[in-house]
């Protein structure tokens, strides 16, 4: 059945204490909202993102990066139930299912969403919520069950009785609705609660009153339910996400010498028998081949493609570049906006000067196969070095050079004999 999503991202995020929208805060250089949208890939045909605080910024990000996503303004923000009702006009004739996701759940995996949807379908449910069990249920909504263990309601922490407060099953903030049957609920919610808001969670009681089939799916790995409300949450989520990534890489044949000092983004692919040395930080989307050595202390900043058998050594930073097989950049270099062929050696301290501060533009450096760059070279882009050419150490290269040549710029060496003694 066709599924569309409503993603709630209009809230203020007060506890972030920030001038940036909460959902635009980043984990490995990718905004929280992008993780949520990516988790719906292969699941939804269209996504409605509800925006409010910093609406323009969130709208710009979402619409630039996701073609199947629309933003809908919620102003003022009167609660999560009110937020969903903003999408109702766009879903008036929709006959499929709607998955609602809080916009601050970057750790939710699409595999878990798929299990959740399968559960909903297998139970012939009309409305399914996702729950999980937490030792410390903190300020999450509590999942209240009937004597026969079926779902009764969700009670927000601020509205609980002491007995309800002790419940450890919490509402994750993911809901699946047979839309045609539930849509009427959104014009009937009330604000009769501690926060005076329209609670999305009240649709459960509404569903029960209207004889609909409601269920709770218990998420096994409660880490995925971790919502971001503060900077501490952001740091913790980054850590969980990193551990998950490193474990999956190690399971797939990548050596991580020291997982406690290595950071690798979710969107980085790494081939087998590659070794990642300590203090390496890899953010954004990257593809690293087999049998490479990366680090220690390497920094890959995204849009980096490295083919097999390469070495990116200590204090080497790479951004938006393609590197062919058997190419080495061992020490203290910056490679940005570059296209490097195979069997290249980049000497220590080589810099691709890709940024022109006068025009504010960036240009490309192209090095063909078998080029050897001497230490401490500056390649001033745009520049292209032909196949097999060598560049002498300490050169500043400002023009293209053809193949199999030697290029060097060097002030003549002066030796003044006895100079020190005379002084």
* Positions marked catalytic: 331
C-alpha 1, offset from chain centre: 28
Residue from 82, 120, 183, 245 in contact with ligand UD1 (CB under 6 A): 82
Please report how close the Cβ of residue 100 comes to ligand UD1 at its closest, in angstroms: 9
For residue 74, state whether it binds ligand UD1 (rule: CB under 6 A). Answer: yes
> 39-54 burial by CB neighbour count: b if 16+ within 10 A, else e?
bbeebbebbbbbbbbb
**Given 91, 170, 234, 397, the residue binding ligand UD1 (CB under 6 A):** 170
Structure tokens at 97: 């299912």
CB of 275 to Ca ion, least distance (A): 39
Indicate whether 169 belongs to the interface with ligand UD1 (CB under 6 A): no
Residues 122-151 that bind ligand UD1 (CB under 6 A): 140-141
CB of 366 to ligand UD1, least distance (A): 44
Tell me phi and psi for residue 132, to 5 degrees.
Answer: -155, 165
Query: How many contiguous H segments (helices) and E segments (strands) does the chain have?
Result: 9, 37
Give the nearest distance from C-beta 79 to ligand UD1 in angstroms.
5
- Work out whether 227 is an interface residue with ligand UD1 (CB under 6 A): yes
Please state, in angstroms and rounded to a whole number, the distance separating the CA atoms of residues 421 and 423.
5
d(CA 196, CA 192): 6
Residue 300 interacts with which of Ca ion, ligand UD1, none, CB < 5 to 8 Å by class = none
- DSSP secondary-structure letter at 88? G
Among 34, 62, 78, 241, contact with ligand UD1 (rule: CB under 6 A):
78
Min dist. Cβ of residue 186 to Ca ion (A): 20
Binding mask 6-45 for ligand UD1 (x = CB under 6 A): --xxxx----------------------------------
Backbone φ/ψ region at 388: left (φ over 0), alpha (ψ -120 to 50), beta: left
Stretch in the footprint of ligand UD1 (CB under 6 A) among 164-172, 203-211, 299-307, 316-324? 164-172
The first and second tokens of residue 33, run together, are: 């909202």
Contact 169, 131 (CB under 8 A): yes
Near ligand UD1 by CB under 6 A, which window of 3-11, 89-97, 233-241, 380-388? 3-11
The residue among 172 and 367 lying less far from ligand UD1, judged by its C-beta, is 172
Q: Which of ligand UD1, Ca ion, none sits in contact with 80, Cβ below 5 to 8 A by type?
A: ligand UD1
Cis ω before 362 (30° cut-off from 0): no
Binding region for Ca ion (CB under 5 A): 227
- Number of Cβ within 10 Å of residue 96's Cβ equals 16
Rule CB under 6 A: say whether 186 interacts with ligand UD1: no
Site string for ligand UD1, 85-124 (x = CB under 6 A): -----------------xxx--------------------
The residues in 237-276 that bind ligand UD1, with binding defined as CB under 6 A, are none
SS3 101: strand
Give the whole-angstrom CA distance, residue 328 versus residue 274: 14
With tokens 């949208």, the residue in question is: 37
Helix, strand, coil percent content, the chain, rounded in steps of 5: 25, 30, 45
Stretch of residues binding ligand UD1 (CB under 6 A), selected from 5-13, 54-62, 261-269, 404-412: 5-13
Binding mask 302-341 for ligand UD1 (x = CB under 6 A): ----------------------------------------
**What is the token pair recorded at 280?**
């390496």
Residue 237 binds what, of Ca ion, ligand UD1, none (CB under 5 to 8 Å, by partner type)? none
Checking DSSP bridges between strand 286-288 and strand 268-270, what pairing results, if any?
parallel
Determine phi and psi for 392, rounding to 5 degrees. -70, 150
How far is it, in rounded angstroms, from Cα 163 to Cα 168? 11
**Which residue in this structure is represented by tokens 């045909």?**
45
Q: Which is nearer to Ca ion, 172 or 344 (CB)?
A: 172
* Position among 48, 199, 263, 277 found at the interface with ligand UD1 (CB under 6 A): 199
For 26, half-sphere exposure in the C-beta direction (CA atoms, 13 angstrom radius) is 7
Task: Determine which residue in the list 6, 58, 176, 200 makes contact with ligand UD1, applying CB under 6 A.
Answer: 200
Q: Which residues bind ligand UD1 (CB under 6 A)?
A: 8-11, 50, 52, 74, 77-80, 82-83, 102-104, 140-141, 154, 156, 170-173, 199-201, 227
């Amino acid at each position: 059945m066709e599924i569309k999503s409503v993603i709630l991202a209009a809230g203020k995020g007060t506890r972030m204490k920030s001038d940036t929208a909460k959902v635009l805060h980043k984990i490995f250089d990718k905004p929280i909202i992008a993780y949520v949208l990516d988790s719906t890939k292969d699941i939804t045909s269209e996504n409605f993102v509800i925006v409010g605080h910093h609406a323009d910024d969130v709208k710009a990000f979402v619409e630039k990066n996701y073609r199947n996503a629309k933003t809908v303004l919620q102003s003022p923000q009167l609660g999560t139930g009110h937020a969903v009702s903003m999408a109702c006009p766009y879903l008036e004739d929709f006959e499929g299912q709607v998955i609602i996701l809080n916009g601050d759940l970057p750790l939710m995996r699409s595999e878990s969403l798929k299990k959740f949807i399968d559960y909903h379908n297998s139970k012939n449910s009309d409305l399914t919520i996702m729950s999980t069990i937490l030792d410390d249920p903190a300020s999450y909504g509590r999942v209240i069950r009937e004597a026969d263990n079926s779902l009764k309601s969700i009670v927000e922490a601020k509205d609980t009785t002491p007995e309800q407060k002790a419940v450890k099953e919490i509402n994750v903030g993911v809901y699946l609705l047979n839309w045609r049957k539930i849509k009427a609920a959104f014009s009937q919610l009330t604000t009769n609660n501690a926060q005076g808001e329209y609670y999305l969670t009240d649709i459960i009681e509404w569903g029960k009153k209207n004889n609909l089939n409601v269920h709770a799916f218990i998420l096994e790995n409660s880490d995925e339910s971790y919502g971001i409300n503060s900077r501490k949450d952001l740091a913790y989520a980054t850590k969980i996400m990193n551990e998950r990534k490193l474990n999956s890489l190690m399971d797939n044949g990548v050596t991580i010498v020291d997982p406690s000092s290595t950071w690798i983004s979710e969107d980085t692919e790494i081939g087998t028998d590659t070794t990642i040395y300590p203090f390496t930080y890899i953010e954004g989307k990257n593809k690293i081949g087999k049998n490479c050595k990366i680090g220690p202390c390497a920094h890959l900043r995204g849009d980096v493609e490295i083919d097999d058998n390469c070495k990116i050594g200590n204090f080497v930073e790479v951004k938006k570049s393609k590197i062919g097989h058997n190419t080495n950049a061992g020490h203290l270099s910056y490679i940005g906006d570059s296209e490097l062929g195979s069997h290249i050696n980049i000497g220590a301290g080589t810099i691709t000067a890709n940024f022109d501060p006068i025009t504010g533009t960036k240009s490309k450096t192209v090095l063909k196969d078998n080029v050897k760059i001497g230490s401490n070279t500056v390649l001033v882009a745009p520049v292209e070095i032909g196949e097999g050419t060598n560049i002498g150490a300490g050169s500043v290269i400002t023009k293209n050079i053809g193949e199999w040549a030697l290029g060097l710029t060097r002030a003549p060496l002066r030796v003044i004999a006895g100079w020190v003694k005379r002084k």
